[in-house]
Amino acid sequence: MAHTDNVYKLIELTGTSSNSIEEAVNNAFTRASKTVRNMRWFEVIETRGAIEDGKVAQWQVTIKVGFTMDD
């Protein structure tokens, strides 16, 4: 398998969810895919959240996303 010498751009997004880390990440992609094409991989950078009434009210997960730059 030959590797094409692609160039990728990386952006950072924070997705949020009241349920889980996984859902917060997927929410970020759902929103970003409206304007960004060709997203390939991601890395979780930071996991934070808001607390209300003594429990997690919102997961806030920051990810770095790589996507192919079109020619």
In the complex, minimum distance from the CB of residue 38 to a second copy, in angstroms, rounded to a whole number? 9
Q: Is-contact 64 29, C-beta < 8 A?
A: no
- Residue (of 34, 49, 43) closest to 11 by Cα position: 43
* Cα dist from 39 to 3, 23, 33, 36, whole Å: 18, 17, 8, 7
Interface with a second copy in residues 7-66 (CB under 8 A): 7-22, 24-33, 39-44, 46-52, 54-59, 62, 64-66
In the complex, minimum distance from the CB of residue 43 to a second copy, in angstroms, rounded to a whole number? 5
Instruction: Using CB under 8 A, list all residues that contact a second copy.
Output: 1, 3, 5-22, 24-33, 39-44, 46-52, 54-59, 62, 64-66, 69, 71
